[in-house]
A and B are shown apart, each in its own frame.
Chain A
Amino acid sequence: MPRFATVLFLAGFAFLLFTLTLTLGFGEPPMRAGQGVLDQAVAGTGAANAVSAVLLGFRGLDTLGELSILFAAATAGGLVLGHRRPAPDAAAAGAILQAGTRLLFPLMLVVGFYIILHGHLTPGGGFQGGVILAAAFFLPVLAGIGAGPDHALLRVVEGLAGTAFILIGLAALWGGSVFLEPLLVRPADLHALFSAGTLPLLYLAVGLKVGAELAGLLASMARPGGGEA
């Protein structure tokens, strides 16, 4: 009987895909808001990267929601993983991992901050850069050649970054515009780092918050003894 259910599910899934491919042309999404947003995105926010312009300028509140979801997930993960467990005897890291970590750590730091700070100009942004930063701080732990990031410091950085994001949004509100509306907008310039008003600051806050959150989650997963730091 389970086999029959599987076949039924697969047939239904195939039928669904078949119908979708028949009725929807490839590359022609039935969405009408997209072109309007694209037309004003770069001029309206001053960010040369249209994706960042949409992410922070048009739907900054959604980005704040994503940050909250990530925060809740990281907190829940830390809560579940904080239990004491018998420490498994971790195998020593190999020579490739150790040497690669020494080589990659500074490189990943630079790349992570570059991606965060240039999010409004080139592809990338706070989320991607933050993930790279978290991974960078975590490599030494995996290789066994250093302690993980300090948990208390991570918590401070995360809190400050989240507060900064909301404060920037409130500043826009205080100036008479909408919450999280981009301020100090100037014409977009691909070659100017300080060009998109408050968007780079928002991205810096997002990057630091994501990086600190994920690093904290990884640290609580890696700590064999568990418990609060």
Chain B
Amino acid sequence: MFWLLLGIVVLMLTSAVLVLVLDNLLAALAASSVVSLALALVFVILRAPDVAMTEAAVGAGLSALILVLALRRLGLVGAGGARDGENGDA
């Protein structure tokens, strides 16, 4: 159980760092969803299924949806790569 938890924590930390590092905004969003899903798994292991369900629905689902919509509203979804490339070069 300890090693499983350790693996999940490593996965969470890796995805959390990826959120900061990734240039593609959609990929960073997906990575932030991975953090929430792994956290939901931790809640299940800690025997808190209600919290796990909330974390999966709100953290992984709804907040990702809201952020995608925000990206679309800002026009960063379609032309995400090019703009990120400019940012990376600057």
A-side residues, CB < 8 A to B, are: 49, 51-52, 81, 85, 88-91, 115, 123-125, 127-128, 131-132, 134-135, 138, 142, 214, 217-218, 221-222, 224
Contacts and interface: CB of A to CB of B under 8 A. Distances in A.
B66 A218 contact: yes
A128 B54 contact: yes
B88 interface: no
Contacts of B66: 217-218, 221
A131 B72 contact: no
Interface stretch (B7-15, B17-25, B28-36, B56-64): B56-64
A221 B73 contact: yes
Contact of B69 (A123, A134, A218): A218
Contacts of A138: 65
Given A90-B78, A125-B50, 14 more contacts: A88-B72, A90-B72, A123-B52, A123-B53, A128-B50, A128-B54, A128-B57, A131-B61, A132-B57, A135-B57, A142-B68, A221-B70, A222-B69, A222-B72
Contacts of A91: 77-78
A132 B61 contact: yes
Residue among B58, B68, B69, B70 with most chain A CB within 10 A: B69
Nearest to A217: B66
A124 B50 contact: yes
Nearest to A27: B46
Contacts of A214: 62
B49 interface: yes
B73 to A, nearest CB: 7
A2 to B, nearest CB: 18
B25 to A, nearest CB: 13
Closest 7 CB pairs of A and B: A123-B49, A91-B78, A88-B75, A131-B57, A221-B69, A51-B50, A128-B53
Nearest to A222: B69
A134 B58 CA distance: 11
A88 B53 CA distance: 34
Given A131-B62, A135-B62, A221-B70, A89 B78 contact: yes
Contacts of A128: 50, 53-54, 57-58
B61 to A, nearest CB: 5
Nearest to B78: A91
A119 B77 CA distance: 37
Contacts of B72: 88, 90, 222
Contacts of B61: 131-132, 135
Contact of B73 (A49, A88, A131, A217): A88
Contacts of B57: 128, 131-132, 135
